[in-house]
Structure 1
Amino acid sequence: MHTKWRKGPGWISRLDRHLVRGVSSFPGGNHDTFFRRLSASANHGKLWMGAAAVMALFPGRPRRAALHGLIAQAVASAVTNAGFKTLLPRTRPLPEHLPVFRFVHPQPTSSSMPSGHSASASAFALGAGLVKPALGAALAPAAFGVAYSRVHTGAHWPSDVFFGSAIGAAAALVTRTWWPVRLPFPEVTRTVTDAPELPGGSGLTIVVNTLGGSFTEQTAAALQEVFPDAHIESVQPDESLAVAIQTAATLDGTRALGVWGGDGTVGAAAAAAVEHSLPLLVLPGGTLNHFARDTGTGSLKEAVIAATRGEAAHADVGIVTVERGLAGNPETAELIMVNTASVGLYPDLVRRREQLQPALGKPLAGVVAMFRTFAVGTPNTLIVDGTRHKVWIAYVGRGRYYPRDHAPLLRPVLDDGVLDVRMITADESFARLRLLWSVLTGTVATSRITHLREATEVRIESEGSPMALAVDGEALAGVRSVRVRVEPRALTYYSPRS
């Protein structure tokens, strides 16, 4: 087979030589320089990496198109250079086949069959086009030009270019399933209710956590300006936040409880609001403000509108029962969860993803964060609802989060009555390689290592040493077991209806 391909099969060789003679008959000109430079620009995929860098500047589908194009290109290049060039050795065109001024110098020394440049060009252009067709159409002339330039400069026979292009197209189609397009998120829906109208903040008591991520010396004054009749209590670092919130909830004249701080502070305030049957006004004051965003009060203006008009809605809460201490004499505590609870590497993953997101965008930041987190992490041995697992991440969200994969970001409904349970396990052989491969290919959600389900209650126990548990971003060490259940529509929160 090798001998046959050194000159090419008869009819293919004859067709190649006929087409090359046609190309060689073209008169010389500036186009020779153009195609020589275009061909050189695609060496080692430089042209496509540059195009991907430009596309990555635009979040959303252009950035995903760039990522898919690079993945397809990498696969096509590997298959071409490590596979077919070894299996199908073939001599490249000789100087006598083309004018000397057009012939590429130095001539590549690897097999002519198939064309790696053509494979990369086709893979990147089609891979990007499958995600965003307009970009694929814009890249197509460049891809076609690179493929033709390999014949024009004598680097390849036409059949090499055709075969390479076919490999690239196949790589784009195969890798398309690795990064499926995420379905649109459901519409935001809320179960509306009425709450006391608080014009000027009358009847509102606000607790300000001075350790909140965006706190400044002017924070309390700014809140007093928009809520002139509210009672505002600033909690200093050496004071008990839990005690301050409970005190605020029981002050005479308090008809609603406001809270300024991060998700952990909001969780403590939600517990007091539920206990004392008060509506909760969430003011964005932390680093991430997940719950404020979900309630529709992600800005101070939105919070003022909702409180003034008495516009509110219902939310479920999670009841988290934690056992800590010695196995024979555990200490039990009960917490309110408004967002998430997690065991394992999830807090590290979220922290890294949030740091990378401004520069890389959500999808790519999630991929890089997963690689960094799991490259050095170790799994925990846990018993989840009676079944033993080695677990990288055990995650429990209060409500359905989207997208439905390893990187939940948004929660359109706050009273759907379910817990969103997600685990990434290390039960299978070659667990770390499986995990990193699924992250690279975007198939974590469909991989055997991932377990996605919904429940109204879940129990997690440590086997051996105690585990670290994070509830709404607040860490608890020495946990022996945790049980999470849903309390439907237990919390009333202010939320603008428009």
Structure 2
Amino acid sequence: MHRMWRKGPGWIARFDRYLLRRVSGFPGGNHDTFFRRLSASANHGKLWMGAAAVMAAFPGKPRRAAVHGLIAQAVASAVTNVGFKTLLPRTRPLPEHLPVFRFVHPQPTSSSMPSGHSASAIAFAVGAGMVKPSVGLALAPVALGVAYSRVHTGAHWPSDVLFGSAIGAGAALITRKWWPVRPPFPATARSWTSAPELPDGEGLSVVVNTLGGSFTKETAAALQEVFPRAHINTVEAGEDLVDKIRTTAGLPGTRALGVWGGDGTVGTAAAAAVERSLPLLVLPGGTLNHFARDAGTGSLKEAVAAANRGEAALADVGVVSVERGLAGNPETVELLMLNTASIGLYPNLVRRREKLRPALGKPLAGVVAMFRTFTAGTPTTLIVDGVRHKLWIAYVGRGRYFPRDHAPLVRPVLDDGVLDVRMITADESFARLRLLWSVLTGTVATSRITHLREVTGIRVESDGSPMVLAVDGEALAGVRSVEFRVDRHALMYYSPRP
């Protein structure tokens, strides 16, 4: 069979020579230089790496298209150069088959069958186009030009190019399953209700955490300007946040509690609001404030509009019962969970992802952060609802988060009545390799190491050493066990209607 492919089967050889004679009959001109340079630019994938670098400068789909294009190109190149070129050795066209001014020099010495340049070109263009069709259309002429240039310069027979192009398209299709298009997130839904109208902040008491990452001296003044009748209470360094929030919520004439700060501050304020049956106005501020985004008050303008008009909705909250301390003398603490809780390496993953997101975009930042986190991390042994697991991550979200993978970002519904439980286990053999491969291929959600479920309650116990639990970004050490449950429609929050 090898001997047959050195010159090609009869009908393929005749087909190749016929097409090559037609190409050799083209008159010489500037196009010869163009195709020679185009072919050389694609050596070792340089052309596609450059295109990917340009695409990566634009967040969102262009960046994702670049990632998928490079993955497809890498697979096509490996299959072509390591696999088929070894299995199907074939001599390349000879100088007498083309005009000397057109013939590439020096000619490659590897097998002619199939064309690696064509495989990489088609793989990158088709792979990128599957994520963003307009990019694929723009790349198509370049990819086809590279494929044709291999025949025009005598580097390959036409059938080599066709076979290589088919390999490239196949690589794009196969890797597309690795990085599936994320389905559209569900539409935002609210359980609307009425809350006190707060014109100019009348009846509003606001707590401002000055330790929030984005706090400046102008923050409190700006809030007082948009809410001139509100009571603005700042929490300074050294003051007790919980006590200050409770004091603010209990001020005479308070009809609504406002909060400016990160997730931990907002969670504490939510607990006070639930305790006193007050509606909560979450203002954008702090290092991370996920609830403001989910509530639709991601900007001060939106928050002011909802407060002035009394537009509000109901949200579920998570109730977290934590047992800490020595086994013979435990201490039980009950917390309110507004967003998420986690055990294991998840907090490290989130910190890395948020740091990388401005430069890489959300999807790619999640991949890089996960690689860095799990390459060096170690799993934790826990007992979940009576079953012992080795876990990289135990994550509990108050409500369904999307996408359904290792990097949940958006929560369209705040009162769906469930806990979103995600566990990435190390129970299986070759656990670390399985994990890193699923991250690379974008199949974390479907991997055997990932366990996704929705529940109304869950219990997690340490197996020996106490664990560290993070609730809404605030860490608790020395935890022996923790139980989660849902309290339906416990919180009223301001949210602007469409």
Which AA in structure 2 matches 1:146? V
1:223-234 correspondence to structure 2 within 5 Å: 223-234=223-234
Give the Cα–Cα distance (whole angstroms) in 1 for the partners of residues 36 and 134 of structure 2: 27
Residue 443 of structure 1, CA deviation = 0.7
Structure 1, unaligned stretches of length 5 or more?
none
Where does structure 1 differ by over 6 angstroms across 4 or more consecutive aligned residues? none
1:443 aligns with 2:447: no
| Structure 2 match to 1:470 | 470
- Give the Cα–Cα distance (whole angstroms) in 2 for the partners of residues 401 and 141 of structure 1: 40
Partner SS for 1:330: strand
Residue number in structure 1 paired with 2:256 = 256
Equivalent position amino acid for 2:58 in 1? F
Alpha-carbon distance in structure 2 between the residues aligned to 1:7 and 1:302: 71
User: Could you say what secondary structure the match of 1:258 adopts?
Assistant: strand
RMSD after superposition: 1.3
In structure 2, distance between residues paired with 1:168 and 1:308: 58
Secondary structure at the aligned position of 1:84 is classed as: helix
> Within 5 A, what are the aligned runs for 1:304-323?
304-323=304-323
How many Å separate the matches in 2 of 1:129 and 1:298? 33
Distance 1:239 1:176 in 2: 53
| Residue of structure 1 equivalent to 2:123 | 123
Residues 186-223 of structure 1: CA distance to partner in whole angstroms, max 9, x if unpaired? 11111111222222222221111110111111222221
Shift of 1:60: 2.8
Letter aligned with residue 128 of structure 2: A
Partner Cα distance (2:251, 2:199) in 1: 19
* TM superposition shift of 1:57: 2.6
Q: Distance in 2 between matches of 1:65 and 1:285?
A: 33
Separation in 2 of the partners of 1:197 and 1:15? 80
Paired AA for residue 341 in structure 2: A
Shift of 1:11: 2.5
Quote the residue 1:19 is aligned against.
19
Aligned length: 498
Q: What amino acid does structure 2 have at the position aligned with 1:185?
A: F
Give the whole-Å Cα distance in 2 for the aligned partners of 1:244 and 1:331. Answer: 24
Q: What is the one-letter code of the residue matched to 2:421?
A: V
Match of 1:85 in 2: 85
1:295 corresponds in structure 2 to 295
Please name the residue that 1:188 is paired with: 188
Q: Which moved more, 1:297-306 or 1:8-17?
A: 8-17
Give the corresponding residue for 1:339: 339
Q: CA deviation at 1:372?
A: 1.1
1:493 corresponds to = 493
Q: Which sits farther off after the overlay, 1-10 or 315-324?
A: 1-10
User: Match for residue 414 of structure 1?
Assistant: 414
Matches within 5 A, 1:33-44: 33-44=33-44
- Aligned twin of 1:208: 208
Q: Which runs of 5+ in 2 are unaligned?
A: none
Distance (Å, rounded) in 2 between the aligned partners of 1:224 and 1:25: 80
Matched residue SS, 1:99:
coil
CA distance in 1, matches of 2:393, 2:266: 24
Q: Output the CA distance in 2 between the equivalents of 1:132 and 1:226.
A: 42
Instruction: Give the equivalent residue in structure 2 for 1:134.
Output: 134
* Equivalent residue number for residue 277 of structure 2: 277
- Partners of 1:217 and 1:140 in 2: how far apart? 53
User: What is the distance in 2 between the residues matched to 1:285 and 1:129?
Assistant: 38
Cα offset for 1:362? 1.1
Deviation at 1:19, TM superposition (A): 2.1
2:168 is matched with 168
Give the AA of the match of 2:429: S
For 1:37 and 1:238, the matched residues in 2 are separated by 67
Q: Distance in 1 between matches of 2:284 and 2:134?
A: 39
Structure 2 residue matching 1:145: 3-state secondary structure: helix
Distance, in Å, in 2 between the alignment partners of 1:437 and 1:426 is: 14
Q: Deviations over 1:44-102 (max 9, x none)?
A: 11111122222223333322222221111110000000111111111111222222111
Deviations 1:381-412 (A, max 9, x none): 11111111111111100011111222111111
Give the superposition deviation at 1:474.
0.5
Question: Which digits, 9 at most, give the CA deviation of each residue in 1:444-495, with x for residues without a partner?
Answer: 1111111111000011111121111110001111111111100001111111
Partner Cα distance (1:417, 1:14) in 2: 69
Q: Deviations over 1:250-285 (max 9, x none)?
A: 222222111111110000011111111111111111
Give the 3-state SS of the residue equivalent to 1:314 in structure 2: strand
In 2, Cα distance between equivalents of 1:194 and 1:493 = 10
Segment of structure 1 superposing worse, 218-227 or 473-482: 218-227
What is the SS of the residue equivalent to 1:316?
A: strand
Tell me how far apart the structure 2 counterparts of residues 145 and 301 of structure 1 sit (CA, whole Å).
Answer: 51
- Counterpart residue identity of residue 184, structure 2: P
User: Counterpart in 2 of 1:51?
Assistant: 51
CA distance in 1: counterparts of 2:95 and 2:330, whole angstroms: 84
Q: Secondary structure at the match of 2:68?
A: helix
Alpha-carbon displacement from aligned partner over 1:401-439 (angstroms, at most 9, x marks no partner): 111222111111111111111111111111111111111
Amino acid paired to 1:374: F
Where does 1:341-420 land on structure 2 (aligned, <5 Å)?
Answer: 341-420=341-420
Where 2:394 maps in the other structure, the secondary structure is strand
Q: 2:421 aligns to what SS in structure 1?
A: strand
Deviations 1:210-254 (A, max 9, x none): 101111112222211111221121111111001111111222222
TM-score for both structures, normalised by structure 1: 0.98
How far did 1:133 drift?
2.5
Q: Any idea what SS the aligned residue of 2:440 has?
A: helix
AA matched with 1:170: G
Structure 1: distance between partners of 2:488 and 2:22: 76
Identity percentage over the alignment?
Answer: 83
Match in the other structure for 2:198: 198
TM-score by length of 2: 0.98
Code of the aligned partner of 2:167: I
